[in-house]
């Protein structure tokens, strides 16, 4: 995917903050643990049963997530519109969206595997980048729009975009090349990729060549592979970064991320 498409996602869907749900630890020296906030469960409860208490909890406990969902993801109106709750409920009465709500709830009844991989990945990143802020992460159900929304140290996962390569509804709206990335296995890599892109954007984007833009994405993906502990992202540009780093082992990952000069890599 070209860098401009990634940049568009990051520039349009900026969030502020959500409440971070952490497992309790008595010892403060223990590493901070990440657990995905299950905002999607409240959303599904309201949209399938009309439970007003679920809507109230969405608005009181997750105000920024709700605003972002309504105004930026679904784009159905402003959160302070007197009719917004009716519009929200009516929007999801579509049979396709009701099916997605049900299927997402069933597939993601348990997200322990995702929490585990998120923690191990950020643990690895913190070794290389000690100052890296740990993001607040939550799950939501959109309307087959954006997969990941990133903002001020916040990551939102749209579960409706990760229902599997064999999910029947996807075949109506997406190309096979897109569908193969809409799986559970893509969630954590996508979270890492978009989050690092938000923290280490490409400067002077408009004046850069396409090769430089592709190398910037390749650099981010290469670091994501390091965080994951396996080679998930594969491309010519990831390989170029890998070769460069193997020849320049003194360069830290943090400095690699901060450096926007790709002339040395291009000349290799």
Region of poorest pLDDT, from 13-27, 83-97, 169-183? 13-27
Q: Which helix (H) or strand (E) holds 156?
A: strand 154-158
- Is the pLDDT at 14 greater than 50? The verdict is no
Q: Mean pLDDT across the stretch 239-255?
A: 95
Say if residue 41's pLDDT is above 50.
yes
Please report the pLDDT score of residue 241 as a whole number.
97
* Per-residue pLDDT band at 264 (split at 50, 70, 90): confident
Give the model confidence (pLDDT) of 146-188 as tens digits.
899 998 789 999 999 999 999 999 999 999 999 999 999 999 9
Give the domain ranges of the chain: 3-22+29-197, 201-266
pLDDT confidence bin for 268, thresholds 50/70/90? confident
Q: What is the pLDDT of residue 153?
A: 86
* pLDDT tens figures, 205-216: 889 999 999 999
Are 262 and 205 within 8 A, CB to CB?
no
Query: Which comes out higher in pLDDT, residue 223 or 268?
Result: 223
Contact 163, 100 (CB under 8 A): yes
Average pLDDT of the residues in 80-92: 94
Is the pLDDT score of 260 beyond 70? yes
Between 9 and 215, residue with greater pLDDT: 215
Residue 30 has pLDDT above 50, yes or no: no
- Residue 161's nearest CA partner among 27, 40, 21, 14 is 40
**Contact (Cβ atoms closer than 8 angstroms) between residue 251 and residue 126:** no
Mean pLDDT value across residues 215-243? 97
Partners of residue 157 on adjacent β-strands: 139, 148
- Which pLDDT value is given to residue 256? 96
What is the rounded distance in angstroms from the CA atom of residue 44 to the CA atom of residue 48? Answer: 6
Residue 10, SS3 per DSSP? helix
Assess contact for 242 and 222: CB atoms under 8 A. Answer: yes
Q: Count the residues in the chain.
A: 268
Residues 6 or more apart whose Cβ sits within 8 Å of residue 58: 39, 42, 43, 46, 65, 66
Name the pLDDT band for 31 (thresholds 50, 70, 90): low
Quick one: tokens of 181?
A: 């990335």
pTM of this structure: 0.86
Q: What is the mean pLDDT of the chain?
A: 89
For residue 24, pLDDT beyond 80 = no
pLDDT score, position 66: 94
């Amino acid at each position: 995917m070209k860098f401009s498409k990634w940049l568009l996602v990051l520039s349009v869907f900026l969030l502020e903050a959500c409440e971070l749900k952490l497992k309790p630890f008595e010892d403060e020296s223990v590493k901070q643990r990440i657990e995905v906030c299950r905002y999607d469960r409240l959303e599904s409860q309201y949209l399938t049963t009309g439970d007003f208490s679920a809507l109230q909890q969405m608005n009181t406990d997750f105000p920024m997530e709700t605003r972002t969902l309504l105004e930026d993801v679904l784009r159905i109106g402003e959160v302070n519109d007197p009719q917004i709750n009716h519009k929200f409920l009516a929007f999801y009465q579509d049979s396709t969206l009701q099916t997605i709500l049900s299927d997402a709830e069933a597939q993601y009844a348990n997200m322990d595997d995702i929490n585990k991989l998120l923690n191990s990945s950020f643990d690895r990143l913190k070794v290389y980048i000690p100052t890296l802020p740990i993001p607040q992460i939550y799950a939501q159900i959109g309307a087959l729009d954006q997969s990941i929304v990133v903002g001020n140290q916040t990551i939102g996962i749209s579960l409706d975009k990760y229902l599997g390569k064999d999910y029947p509804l996807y075949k109506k709206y997406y190309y096979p090349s897109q569908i193969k990335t809409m799986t559970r296995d893509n969630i954590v890599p996508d979270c890492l990729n978009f989050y690092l892109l938000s923290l280490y954007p490409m400067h002077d984007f408009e004046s850069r060549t396409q090769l430089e833009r592709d190398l910037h994405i390749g650099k981010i993906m290469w670091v994501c592979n390091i965080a994951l502990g396996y080679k998930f992202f594969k491309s010519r540009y990831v390989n170029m970064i890998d070769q460069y780093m193997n020849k320049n082992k003194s360069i830290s990952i943090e400095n690699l991320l901060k450096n926007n000069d790709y002339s040395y890599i291009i000349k290799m």
